[in-house]
Structure 1
């Protein structure tokens, strides 16, 4: 398989996982990492602003490290925090899918 196809399948898998966890609106069938981040950004922004405790619980569920969360919160401009947090969540979910696939093959 070529890597762009692998990446596309990976993003679709992550999109389904995130859709189930975050109850996202309908996502386009063809979506990339940044597009998925833009799709979940409003949900993340809402959680950061109005339900911070729930946001932290989701970060724990995503296994997004406390250091990563603190770094984004402390170093990103306020208008970029929700997008950068969305990218971090997607990257972590992608890594989890890759690891599941890798170790399920053994």
Structure 2
């Protein structure tokens, strides 16, 4: 369970991070993706599914970049997907500026 909490913290892009913190987060994710690729591929698949990384995007990226480290590509996709989720949340955020008399 500790490992799951750690990855959740790494993927929590909602918080404001400095450029150095983002670089450190990316490095930790990269190391973790390498670890999962080598030692626990099933857990990697579960993580990609849970974060909702597009299988098609991953296949295309791997095919287009055969010389690039797979863990780097996966890390980039994970971060990209989390950023997409944040943008979607902001886009569909409920309007809290409703006057008190108009609220139910």
Q: What's the TM-score once normalised by structure 1's chain length? A: 0.63
Where in structure 1 are there 5+ consecutive unaligned residues?
1-18
CA-based RMSD: 2.8
Give the aligned partner of residue 87 of structure 2.
98
Give the aligned partner of residue 66 of structure 1.
55
Secondary structure of 2:19's aligned partner: coil
CA distance in 1 between partners of 2:42 and 2:32 (Å): 14
Where in structure 2 are there 5+ consecutive unaligned residues?
11-16, 96-104
Give the aligned partner of residue 31 of structure 1.
19
Matched residue pairs, number?
Answer: 85
Confirm whether residue 43 of structure 1 aligns to residue 47 of structure 2: no
Deviations 1:37-88 (A, max 9, x none): 2231000111111111110111011110111222344443465211121011
Q: CA deviation at 1:33?
A: 9.2
CA distance in 2 between partners of 1:22 and 1:105 (Å): 28
Q: What's the TM-score once normalised by structure 2's chain length? A: 0.64
More helix by share: 1
1:76–1:32 CA distance, 2 compared to 1 (3 A):
farther
5 Å-filtered alignment, 1:4-19, equals none
